[in-house]
Amino acid sequence: MKQKYRRGIDMVDKHACQRKYASLGLLLITIAAFVVMPTALAVSDFKGIFNQKYDTKGTRIDSCSICHASGSKLNDYGKALVDAGIKKGSNETKVMQGLTSIEQVDSDGDGFSNIVEINARFFPGNVSDHPAAIPTAPPTTTPTATPPFKEIAINDQLIKIFEDVYNYFMKLSLPKSLDNYYQNSKPGTPSSEYVGDMFIMAGAFDGMIANIQEGDMANANKSYTAFAKEYKNISRKVQSWKGYFSIFAVKKLGTDMNMNANNSVISKDIAKIEATCEKCMGERRAQVWAKYYWSDFDTVNISGIPWQDAMIMLAVNFGGIEANAAEGNQAATNNSFNKFKASYAQVKTACYNCHDTPRAYYVSDDVFARIDLMGTNIIANNMTNVQAIQRELDIQCYRCHVLHMPAQDMKSKMIRNKEK
């Protein structure tokens, strides 16, 4: 009887011990989860991180309205944060980085950057909520004399770092959403929806200025209405570019025109709008042209040979003419020349992979006339003239390189480095 009782006690103790260790195991798993993911973020945590970063707890912008227009609908600032990569489940570090990345952007287009409005305790996603006046430009300072350039030694490793940074910048320099507006673009043809809208906007803007200069304010106001509508339309096309546009400046121009302000006031309004356009075009236009308006040379073949390989063969034969002519070897010079001329004719055909009009240099008729003259001088064994003509052809090659290679370099870094 005692043994049965003892066994019963042991079984109770065993089950109690199992439950104890099971509970302890669950507790350890829970703790481990928090150790592995200490900053897992729910949407409700965002406001706390925002307040921590900008010291806004208890202020007028300590509110869900910082990102939301109404209910779950995001305002322009909230949309910019989503574009910056912040989403449900983002950790604290990701949120902090996203907040910092859009500080200099004017998300709501009221003329003030996000960080200026946050520091002044205004909502960066509400165009009607902003500081009382446009911030003044910092005082100009007299530039100091530039010290004489001193060449410094830069090791290969540092150069590689700069190249990697440049590659990364070029890869990220254009937003993916821009592809939607350039689906049918081709070299030399502004066929995109984006460019078409820009032409409409520019025409209305220039017409407005012309009307103002002529004193025709009735038509100037009509042109302004068309311009303002298109300006607002374009500002919404690429979310991450909204900071380039100032809806506030456009509205101020309209107000001043309606109030018949003097020309100096209106001219200042126009200058501020022009500055936004110049900044955007100065920072983005070259990449847009390279990506959407220049074909990729690596898609072009010359008689079945990839472009780069064919150009190397062309250069080798061209170099053979130079070396053999300098040595006075007529037979070898003529052999290199014939290979070069044949390759050059194939390059001319390949040019029409991209161009649909005759080329005015490099592969134009006058260039081929000089190539024929080179052949005539080789047959006459006049190597001095052969070398002189070759210098002329060098310039033709160089002109083509200067025009095409910068665009191809940018295209390579924006497209082919995507996987890196």
**Position 373 pLDDT exceeds 90:** yes
Q: What is the pTM of this model?
A: 0.48
The answer to whether residue 136 is domain-embedded is no
The answer to whether residue 159 is domain-embedded is no
- Domain span at residue 256 reads 177-293
Mark whether 382 and 279 lie in a shared domain: no
The answer to whether residue 10 is domain-embedded is yes
The answer to whether residue 412 is domain-embedded is no
The answer to whether residue 96 is domain-embedded is yes
The answer to whether residue 126 is domain-embedded is no
Which amino acid type is present at position 352? Y
Last residue of a domain, one of 119, 150, 167: 119
Mark whether 284 and 324 lie in a shared domain: no
Mark whether 58 and 34 lie in a shared domain: no
Last residue of a domain, one of 102, 119, 136: 119
Mark whether 12 and 75 lie in a shared domain: no
Which of 39-48, 150-159, 207-216, 403-412 tops mean pLDDT?
207-216
Domain count, the chain: 4
Mark whether 30 and 84 lie in a shared domain: no
Query: Which pLDDT band holds residue 18 (cuts at 50, 70, 90)?
Result: very low
Mark whether 13 and 108 lie in a shared domain: no
CATH number of the domain encompassing residue 376:
1.20.120
The answer to whether residue 416 is domain-embedded is no
The answer to whether residue 286 is domain-embedded is yes
| pLDDT, greater one: 98 or 70 | 98
Mark whether 195 and 249 lie in a shared domain: yes
Summarised one tens digit per residue, pLDDT across range 374-406 is 999 999 999 999 999 999 988 888 888 888 888
Q: Give the pLDDT confidence score for residue 360 in this predicted structure.
A: 72
